[in-house]
Amino acid sequence: MWCMPLSISFMLAVEDAPVAAEWYISALGASELWSLGSVIGLDIGGAPFLLHESNDKGFSSPAVIGHTTVRIEVFIDEPDSFIEKAVAAGAIVSTDGVQNHRVPWGVHRQGGFNDPFGHVWLVGDRSPLKRYSN
């Protein structure tokens, strides 16, 4: 067990980091932390994440490999409005839409979308972030 604060983030492979950053800023309300051109640090609501252009060292975007290898999970009080804003900016909503899912701790409201760069985002309420024991 870690005895110090820990942050976990993710780095998304994209073909054009500045173009992708502009989409995340416009569509999801991200803000830019810093930019090295092909690598950009962003933040959404205090959660930092990174964009990095594909390279020949085994880091390829979904556009290059034809599928994603990670799902980004977002936990927010209003999943519907987060998804609606992304879809209005060009994201593709998942076929199931936003639904209430029965889970052991009660109900979890979740839906998702694919961003224009091939990444899968699942967006739900904060209920899975609490400890559950039966």
Give the per-residue pLDDT at 110: 96
pLDDT in tens, the chain (134 residues): 556 777 889 999 999 999 999 999 999 999 999 999 999 999 999 999 999 999 888 889 999 999 988 899 999 999 999 999 999 999 999 878 899 999 999 999 999 999 999 999 999 999 999 888 76
Give the per-residue pLDDT at 50: 97
For residues 34-66, one letter each, b for 16 or more C-beta atoms within 10 angstroms of the residue's C-beta and e for the rest, the string is: eeeeeebbbebeeeebebbbbeeeeeebbbeee
For residues 19-31, one letter each, b for 16 or more C-beta atoms within 10 angstroms of the residue's C-beta and e for the rest, the string is: ebbebbeebbebe
In one-letter notation, the amino acid at residue 115 is D
Give the per-residue pLDDT at 130: 85
Helix (H) or strand (E) holding 64: helix 62-65
Give the per-residue pLDDT at 2: 59
Q: Model-level pTM?
A: 0.88
In one-letter notation, the amino acid at residue 81 is S
Which CATH number fits the domain 11-129, given the four candidates 3.10.580.10, 3.10.180.10, 2.40.50.1020, 3.30.470.20? 3.10.180.10
